[in-house]
């Protein structure tokens, strides 16, 4: 397998954009990535699209060639990947495989989602399709509230620890010009937020956002994919033996570390999937950053930079764009000299899909 580098990155602002559609968002991100890589559309050999629910949100199907053509990439293989919130992380993984195997020398991966054109209740219904609609029959805040209660009951994780995650991510997002919600909050505000699904308040939940992100992959570049792994688990939360765990995250992290030849302790910073604050806390444990049950205290300690972008909580969560956006943010930090080894952790559903990517500067 060949080494694979990230030649170029691009993304849009994340937010609510009444005048932007799925194609225009993708066009902006892809054009920026191509310009950053100093390549032309004619040089691109394949297009990989991560998108969760474009047909439900926008009424448009057959999205890969629809988006590729708008980006000036017509005529090449164009494929859409759907794995809930991990859609573009999975698309990135498949694109990496193709370049590493020598099938292609230059590919584009784009993640995009247009969500804010639907009313809130309909957004909730669409997002619930990422769970098991026969067995769970709950919204995602309700599902992650069950996870949070289990973690609190077993390990003593507190509301204050979860709120600290929100405060920290809002602080980082305030400094990110691309973030959807650039707003500092206090611990008192986070604790006093409107309850969405007990014990989760408004400040424990990520945002409904529009946005896109894109990368150009090639067998060269100073920012390299050192390790990457995708794993899966049951879609239904019902029947899982341990609600305090996200086993697919642990398995994908172990595989990615092994490929990269590193240990959890070597990772200097990370962008993790904080769809809810409890998800970041459990990710700390599954990634091996702290012992099991100590994620709440670890997240509150800020011992390692986590979600300098603001995470999904403040940066925003255009579902299909999130995985590639995390890669873009890690690459940006590597380029800015904020570390030599970073990690992106992308989650689908309540843990049914996981992609962990270790990136380094060489």
* Residue 119, both tokens: 């009313």
Distances (CA, A) of 354 to 35, 196, 218: 30, 25, 23
Compute how many other C-beta atoms are within 10 angstroms of the C-beta atom of residue 16. 15
* Residue 311, both tokens: 């995470």
Catalytic residue among 62, 71, 85, 223: 85
Bridge-based pairing state of the strands 78-81 and 46-50: parallel
- E strands, 243-333, in order: 269-271
Secondary structure (DSSP) of 205-264: B----BEEEEEEEES--SEEEEEEEEEE--S-STT-S-TT--HHHHHHHHHHHHHHT--G
Secondary structure (DSSP) of 238-251: TT-S-TT--HHHHH
Give the torsion sign (CA, 66, 87, 277, 327). Answer: negative
Annotation marks residue 110 as catalytic: no
Catalytic residue among 151, 172, 180, 317: 317
Annotation marks residue 94 as catalytic: no
| Beta carbons of 286 and 250 less than 8 angstroms apart | yes
| Beta carbons of 118 and 16 less than 8 angstroms apart | no
| Beta carbons of 329 and 216 less than 8 angstroms apart | no
* Residue 148, both tokens: 């949070």
Q: Is 5 in a helix, a strand, or coil?
A: strand
Residues in CB range of 299: below 8 A, 6 or more apart: 161, 164, 165, 168, 280, 281, 284, 306
Distances (CA, A) of 172 to 110, 182, 279, 283, 311: 24, 9, 18, 18, 8
Q: What residues are labeled active site?
A: 85, 317
């Amino acid at each position: 397998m060949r080494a694979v580098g990230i030649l170029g990155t691009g993304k849009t602002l994340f937010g609510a954009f009444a005048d932007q559609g799925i194609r225009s968002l993708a066009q902006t991100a892809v054009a920026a990535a191509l310009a950053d890589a100093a390549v032309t559309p004619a040089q691109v050999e394949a297009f990989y699209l991560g998108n969760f629910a474009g047909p439900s949100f926008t009424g448009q199907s057959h999205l890969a060639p629809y988006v590729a053509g708008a980006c000036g990439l017509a005529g090449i293989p164009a494929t859409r990947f759907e794995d809930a919130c991990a859609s573009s992380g999975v698309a990135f993984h498949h694109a990496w495989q193709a370049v590493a195997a020598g099938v292609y020398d230059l590919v584009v991966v784009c993640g995009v989602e247009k969500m804010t054109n639907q009313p809130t209740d309909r957004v909730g219904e669409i997002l619930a399709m990422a769970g098991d609609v026969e067995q769970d029959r709950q919204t995602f805040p309700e599902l992650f509230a069950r996870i949070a209660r289990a973690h609190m009951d077993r390990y003593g994780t507190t509301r204050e620890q979860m709120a600290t995650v929100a405060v920290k991510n809002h602080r980082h997002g305030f400094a990110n010009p691309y973030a959807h919600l650039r707003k500092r909050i206090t611990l008192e505000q986070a604790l006093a937020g409107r309850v969405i699904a007990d014990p989760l308040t408004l400040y424990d939940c990520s945002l409904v956002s529009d946005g896109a992100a894109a990368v150009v992959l090639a067998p060269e570049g100073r920012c390299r994919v050192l390790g990457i792994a995708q794993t899966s688990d049951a879609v239904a939360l019902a029947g899982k033996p341990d609600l305090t765990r996200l086993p697919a995250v642990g398995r994908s992290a172990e595989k990615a570390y092994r490929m990269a030849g590193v240990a959890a302790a070597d990772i200097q910073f990370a962008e993790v999937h904080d769809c809810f604050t409890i998800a970041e806390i459990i990710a700390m444990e599954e990634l091996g950053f702290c012992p099991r049950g100590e994620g709440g205290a670890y997240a509150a300690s800020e011992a390692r930079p986590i979600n300098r972008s603001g995470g999904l909580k403040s940066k925003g969560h255009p579902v299909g764009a999130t995985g590639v956006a995390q890669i873009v943010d890690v690459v940006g930090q590597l380029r800015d000299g904020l570390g030599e080894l970073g990690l992106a952790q992308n989650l689908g559903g309540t843990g049914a899909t996981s992609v962990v990517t270790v990136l380094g500067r060489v």
